[in-house]
Amino acid sequence: MELKNLKGLGKIRLSALEKAGIVTVEDLLMSLPRSYRDTSVVTPIAEIREGVPCCVSGYLKAAPKLARFRGISRTTATLCDETGKLLLVWYNQPWIKDQVSAEEPLLLFGKPERDKGGRLFMNSPHREKEQALIPEYAAPAGFPNAIFADLIRQALSSLEECCPETLPESIRLTHHLCERNFAIRQIHAPETKEALALAQRRLAFEQLLLYQAALSILRGTPGRATPIPCSRNDASRFWQQMPFPPTKAQERVLEEILRDMQQNTAMRRMVQGDVGCGKTAIAFGAISVCALSGHQSALMAPTEILARQHFESAQKLLAPMGIQCGLLLGGMKAKERREALKNIKSGAWQVIIGTHALLSESVEYHDLALAVTDEQHRFGVRQRQILSQKAQENREPHVLVMSATPIPRSLALILYGDLELSVVDELPPGRTPVLTRIVPEYKRNGLYGFVKEQASECRQIYIVCPLVEESEAIDAVSAQEMYADLVNGPLSSLRIGLTYGTQDAAEKEKTLAAFSAGDIDVLVSTTVIEVGVNVPNATVMIIENAERFGLSQLHQLRGRVGRGSRESWCFLMAEPNERLNTLCSTNDGFVIARKDLEMRGPGEFLGTRQHGASMFSGMQIDAVLIEETQKCIRMLEKDPSQAEALSMIRSSAKKLFAAHLKQVVLN
């Protein structure tokens, strides 16, 4: 069956489905419910709780009453059962008065709320026809939910012909998974809660396993690399050159890297750690060993200012060891660039630090054996592959990527499935924790007084806004609006700068450089400063509309301050809530990431990072399932007797995730 054969689908609605990525009946059936209304269990009115959705049943005490006030209609009624009474309210639904009566029994589903007088009521409860688990969908734009649900019901009639099995029977039996068609039918029309749980587990397992299989296809087999002879003594010598002793986590991770670099197959490793854990020092350790063995390294950063900061650090740490470092940036003058390209090609520079300019066709390396990329989430697989192709013929460089975005290990296995993982789970001693406070709007003037005090002591301040410019659609502060207000208002006596993502690149670099140099007291910006700005003199971070940011992103922004020895502060402009209270209670990025994962769910987390429309939408994903599917795909890849099963899974993976991998991972 084709989509166009379903009743109720004309050209406009077919086009709406196509825009949502639904082009086949199978796509439609894999548009899973976002939630369920559980009307299978009726809750006595006396036992309902505020904020907990439930199903209630009973009779109306009297006919509904309709009232109008200033163009708003309000229909009210009282539902009674053997245990008590419940107020029902419908706004701007005057027809309800004629659709319900005191004579007939009512089955209603809704979320109880409490009015100003403390009385429980239900606002716009949904009238139910049956006691069941009823799916609720996130219909594409332009689709009424009822019509979308009806399309799903029609499509289920051709389930067997359009949704073939994707997993080998051996995998299904080993992992106690039901058949795919049973799962799809139960997910849209569950017979019992137990059947629904089986279906959700099966489809989540399938999606995770096939996604990891797709990543393994993309990853391929590591190519031949130049083995770099190194030992623990090399690591020890490097740490002795450093102005501070390493943490045990730093020592462990550098040893893991050096062990990989000794192999004749290319290393592919990610170092993940919280802000300030010393990842850059670890990278310099690997670079120093590579250089002292006679080979070249390249370190790629997402911004010019961060590349310059890395270059300055390299000069301090590596130059005393006799290692020549160079800088390659897109904004260089022609003469500088020619000189840089000459030094790279000749091997005069053993370490080359730069931005995307390192990927340019004109760049020829003398002997690239190690490629390091900073802030992994800013670089896709394709960019790493381009850098890999810069090595000598028939050789790949060892690849090391770094990320300061704390992610629970289970999620990192999915998001960065093409890399081995090292976690730096320890901060150097003596780092001053950033004090974090929630500031409601009425305390804004007091906060500006504190900002002036900090500026008078020659300290600097960030103010981060969620928008670049004012928007009628979104009620949030814009950077441009905030800048104008402060320049002409409460902070007019201070030197204020403005930067944002779409700003002219040269202007942005100029502004960030001025802030780094201390020529700007207050920098108003968007999240463009989330990475790549290291200003130890900055001691205050103010985040406007903090409720609009994810916890992990708030933690990243907070990491821009507290980089020096002075006491530092992060102020969240918002009303208190559980999420923001978590940020105030800890500076541990991994604790925050776990809380973020717990509150948002892995499916949303994965979908948000990987694609605008989540490929895991509606999936019941947890850390245990992620680990289980990871072990499954690794076992299949290593066991020759599973070649046929692996082939079937990879074939299914190519079909399901080809578009996602091309658009998301490779770009």
At 12 the pLDDT is 87
The H or E element spanning position 127 is strand 126-127
At 527 the pLDDT is 85
At 666 the pLDDT is 40
At 222 the pLDDT is 72
Query: At the top level of CATH, which class does the domain 232-262+277-403 belong to?
Result: alpha beta
Contacts of 450 (CB under 8 A, 6+ apart): 540, 569
For 34-73, letters b (16+ CB in 10 Å) and e give eebbbbeeebebeebeeeebbbbbbebeeebebeeeeeeb
Q: What are phi and psi of 501, to 5 degrees?
A: -60, -40
Report in angstroms the alpha-carbon separations of 186 from 129, 169, 193, 198: 19, 20, 10, 9
Locate the domains of the chain by residue range.
1-36+138-161, 41-127, 232-262+277-403, 435-586
Residues of the chain with pLDDT under 50: 377-378, 472-473, 607-613, 663-667
**Can you give 80-106 as a three-state secondary structure string?**
EECCEEEEEEEECCCCHHHHCCCCCCE
541, β-bridge pairs: 462, 570
Q: Where are the alpha helices (DSSP H) in 242-333?
A: 248-261, 279-292, 304-317
Closest CA to 78 of 109, 46, 102, 52: 102
**CA dist., res. 108 & res. 323, Å (int):** 74
pLDDT tens digits for range 85-136: 999 999 999 999 999 988 889 999 999 999 888 899 999 999 998 899 999 9
Q: Is the pTM of this model over 0.75?
A: no
CATH code 2.60.40.10 for 435-586: no
Q: What beta strand segments (E) does 404-528 contain?
A: 420-424, 435-439, 460-464, 496-499, 522-525
Q: What is the DSSP string of 133-161?
A: EEEE--PPTT--HHHHHHHHHHHGGGHHH
72, β-bridge pairs: 69
Tokens 């300055």, residue located: 312
Residue 367: how many other CB atoms lie within 10 Å: 16
**CA dist., res. 255 & res. 244, Å (int):** 18
**CA dist., res. 115 & res. 569, Å (int):** 38
Contact (CB, 8 A) for 354 and 300: yes
Contacts of 62 (CB under 8 A, 6+ apart): 77, 78, 102
At 233 the pLDDT is 81
Residues in the chain: 667
At 283 the pLDDT is 95
**CA dist., res. 349 & res. 325, Å (int):** 5
Query: At the top level of CATH, which class does the domain 41-127 belong to?
Result: mainly beta
Q: What are phi and psi of 85, to 5 degrees?
A: -125, 150
Number of H helices, E strands in the chain: 24, 23
**CA dist., res. 228 & res. 430, Å (int):** 35
**CA dist., res. 620 & res. 184, Å (int):** 14
At 388 the pLDDT is 67
CA diameter of the chain: 92
**CA dist., res. 365 & res. 511, Å (int):** 32
Same fold, 232-262+277-403 and 435-586: yes
**CA dist., res. 379 & res. 358, Å (int):** 13
SS3 content of the chain, % helix, strand, coil (to 5): 45, 20, 35
The contacts found for 475-482 with CB under 8 angstroms, 24 or more apart, are: 476/544, 476/545, 476/548, 477/544, 477/545, 479/524, 479/525, 479/526, 482/524, 482/544
Per CATH, the number for 1-36+138-161 is 1.10.150
Burial class (CB within 10 angstroms; exposed 0-12, middle 13-18, buried 19+) of 95? exposed
